[in-house]
Structure 1
Amino acid sequence: MKKLISMKMASYIILAINTMALFMHGLILLNILPYGFVWGGRLKRQEGVILFEMISILIQIVFISIVAVKAGYILKGKFKRTSNIGIWAIFAVMILNSLGNLASHSFLETVVMTPITILLALLVFRLAIEK
């Protein structure tokens, strides 16, 4: 896998996708985008959307931070063990998220987000195997 894609390229792609996802969750929170295609299409009321989208934004920020530390973009040389554990945790979450997307009630989430989360899982795996 190390020969297929560099750690630098994998981290760029992960950060780009997660930044776009962060932006998307912000637009949903601001009622610019509809919320029907996130959280498995199970959210029915605006009050629930606010809580769940705030959780999504927090998770995105944590994911972006962990990837940036692992890739050496921030806090270079610090928190190596913590970032390694975080990367493996993100990998596990991406696998579970892919399975959840497959079971989604939202066709858009299943068709669009499943391939993206599988791609993210593979890219995060690439970061995880880097020493």
Structure 2
Amino acid sequence: MKKLLSERAATFCLLLILALLVVMHLLILAGIIPFALVWGGRLQNQAQMLRFETVSVLVNMLLLAVVALRAGLLRVRLHPIAGRILLGLMAGLFLLNTVGNLLSAHPFEQMVFTPLTLVLFLLSLRLAWYAPGNNSFPANPL
């Protein structure tokens, strides 16, 4: 996988996809995208949607911050092992999300978000497994 996808490409793709997911969840919160398309089509009302989508935005922003740390875009020191653990947890989360999307009641979620979360799993795994030693979470950005 290391030769198929560079660390830089994996980082850029993760940053881009996670940022777009935050925007998508904000559009769901705003009512522009119907909430029936997410959460397996199981949300019953507006109050449930607000809770679930708020959590989604916060989690995706946290994941975005982890990748930004990995890219050296944030000036925060993080031990390389802690960073690799966080990226491994991200990969696990995306793998579970892929299974959840496969079990979705909504065909759109199955067709669009299953491959997307699988790609996010592979990108996160790329950064977690093939970190370049102690420089995987730089203290000084670019």
If the length of structure 1 is used for normalisation, what is the TM-score?
Answer: 0.95
SS at match of 1:112: helix
* Residue 128 of structure 1 pairs with residue 124 of structure 2: no
Gaps of 5+ in 1: none
Deviations 1:45-66 (A, max 9, x none): 0010000000000000000001
Distance in 2, matches of 1:84 and 1:55, equals: 23
| Percent of aligned pairs with the same amino acid | 37
Say which one has the larger Rg. Answer: 2
Distance in 2, matches of 1:8 and 1:2, equals: 11
Distance in 1, matches of 2:83 and 2:120, equals: 17
Distance in 1, matches of 2:36 and 2:93, equals: 22
What's the RMSD between the two structures over aligned residues?
1.1
SS at match of 1:36: helix
Give the AA of the match of 1:94. F
Tell me the equivalent position of 1:57: 57
CA-CA distance at 1:125 after TM superposition: 0.7
Deviations 1:52-90 (A, max 9, x none): 0000000000000011112222236x2033221110000
Tell me the equivalent position of 2:136: none
Out of 66-75 and 103-112, give the one that drifted further: 66-75
Distance in 1, matches of 2:53 and 2:121, equals: 21
Deviations 1:3-26 (A, max 9, x none): 111111101001111111100000
**Is the CA contact (8 Å cut-off) linking 1:7 and 1:71 kept in structure 2?**
no
* 54 and 43 in structure 1: CA distance in 2 versus 1, 3 angstrom threshold: same
SS at match of 2:36: coil
Gaps of 5+ in 2: 133-142
How many residue pairs get matched? 130
Tell me the equivalent position of 1:4: 4
Tell me the equivalent position of 2:75: 75
Distance in 2, matches of 1:6 and 1:75, equals: 23
Give the AA of the match of 1:109. E
Distance in 2, matches of 1:15 and 1:51, equals: 24
Tell me the equivalent position of 2:137: none
Tell me the equivalent position of 1:22: 22
